[in-house]
Structure 1
Amino acid sequence: MDTWTNAKWCDVANLILGAFLFFSPWIFGFDAGPASQNAYVAGIVIAILAIAALAAFAVWEEWLNLIVGLWTLIAPWVLGFQGAKTAMTVHVAVGILVALLAAVEIWMMSQNPPRLTTSR
Structure 2
Amino acid sequence: MRTIENRTEDMVPNALNILFGVALVLAPWYLGLGYETAAARNAFISGGAITVIAVVALGKTYDWEEYLNLALGLWVSIAPWVLGFAEAGPPMWVHVVFGLAVAAFAAFELWRLFVSPQARSV
Please confirm whether the aligned pair reaches a TM-score higher than 0.5, indicating the same fold.
yes
| 1:8-43 Cα distance to aligned partner (Å, 9 max, x none) | 110000000000000011011123410000000000
- Match of 1:28, as an amino acid? L
Larger Rg: 1
| 1:93-113 Cα distance to aligned partner (Å, 9 max, x none) | 001100000001101111115
Equivalent-residue separation in structure 2 for 1:86 and 1:9 (angstroms): 27
Equivalent-residue separation in structure 1 for 2:34 and 2:24 (angstroms): 12
**Which runs of structure 1 show a deviation greater than 4 angstroms over 4 or more consecutive aligned residues?**
none
The structure in which a higher percent of residues are strand is 2
Equivalent-residue separation in structure 2 for 1:14 and 1:31 (angstroms): 25
1:89 equivalent to 2:61? Answer no
Equivalent-residue separation in structure 1 for 2:61 and 2:99 (angstroms): 21
Equivalent-residue separation in structure 2 for 1:28 and 1:88 (angstroms): 11
- Match of 1:83, as an amino acid? E
1:16 equivalent to 2:14? Answer no
- Match of 1:11, as an amino acid? N
1:46 equivalent to 2:50? Answer yes
Instruction: Please report the RMSD computed on the Cα atoms of aligned residues, expressed in angstroms.
Output: 1.3
- Match of 1:39, as an amino acid? A
Higher relative contact order (CA 8 A, sep 6+): 2
In structure 2, the partner of 1:26 is: 29
The number of equivalent residue pairs is 113
Equivalent-residue separation in structure 1 for 2:48 and 2:19 (angstroms): 11
